[in-house]
Structure 1
């Protein structure tokens, strides 16, 4: 994978993730069926990730992602990005994310990610893996 392909994959993924007009089910096209994401010690499979995406959309008014660094080698992408978001209650958060993506057949099969809350309330430290439990 070349650098431009890696940048395109990540930009497309996060543009889709942060666009509430795109159904969360459509995000599955970026991932393999056996996808695994490990975020701050929490593990999500593909269904869990889609639930997480829905949770974010329910909690946030808007979010934007800016990339500080993207590195591609073979089937691996590493990046550092900053997420800035506004919650529906008016709070603002800023999170630094360091992530490694493994790809298979052009899709993401695994992400290992560490998040660091730069601005926001302690209650939002788990926003990188949070899944709301339906009532």
Structure 2
């Protein structure tokens, strides 16, 4: 990340972190490992709904995201920072290559380095209904 961890309010930091990272994944051609190194530490551990992801598993996860994600938006509802840790609640609004829109609510406790790299995260997620306008609404 270009900006330091404490340079922005935590809500803005989280929105910027995930938006710029996801934009680079979806629209960029950079090698997945090189891209990851700008956002995550090499010893990263992310546990999402009980599934532990390390560096290699996160890099592997980028390939299907790059192939299938078409549109996205991160809606940060709240975030609190204490030292190098952030607790946040946000919703990912996405549209995949196949299928309609999907929204996922995320509750995350995370640890970042002073320069804004994600070191550890514990996440609970819940898919929530996405509503598309009907017939000109």
Q: TM-score, structure 1 length as denominator?
A: 0.77
The farther-off stretch of 75-84 and 99-108 is 99-108
Give the structure 1 partner of residue 102 of structure 2: 93
In 2: Cα distance, 1:63 partner to 1:72 partner: 25
2:121 pairs with 111, 122, 134, which one? 111
Aligned pairs, number:
120
**How far off its partner does 1:3 sit?**
7.6
In 1: Cα distance, 2:83 partner to 2:22 partner: 27
Deviations along 1:36-66, one digit per CA (max 9) or x if unpaired, are 0000010111121122122222222111111
CA RMSD of aligned residues (A): 2.1
In 1: Cα distance, 2:113 partner to 2:17 partner: 16
Identify unmatched segments of 5+ residues in structure 1: 121-135
Give the structure 2 partner of residue 64 of structure 1: 73
Distance 1:8 1:39, change over 3 A: same
Give the structure 1 partner of residue 20 of structure 2: 16
Identify unmatched segments of 5+ residues in structure 2: 131-137
2:52 pairs with 43, 46, 62, which one? 43
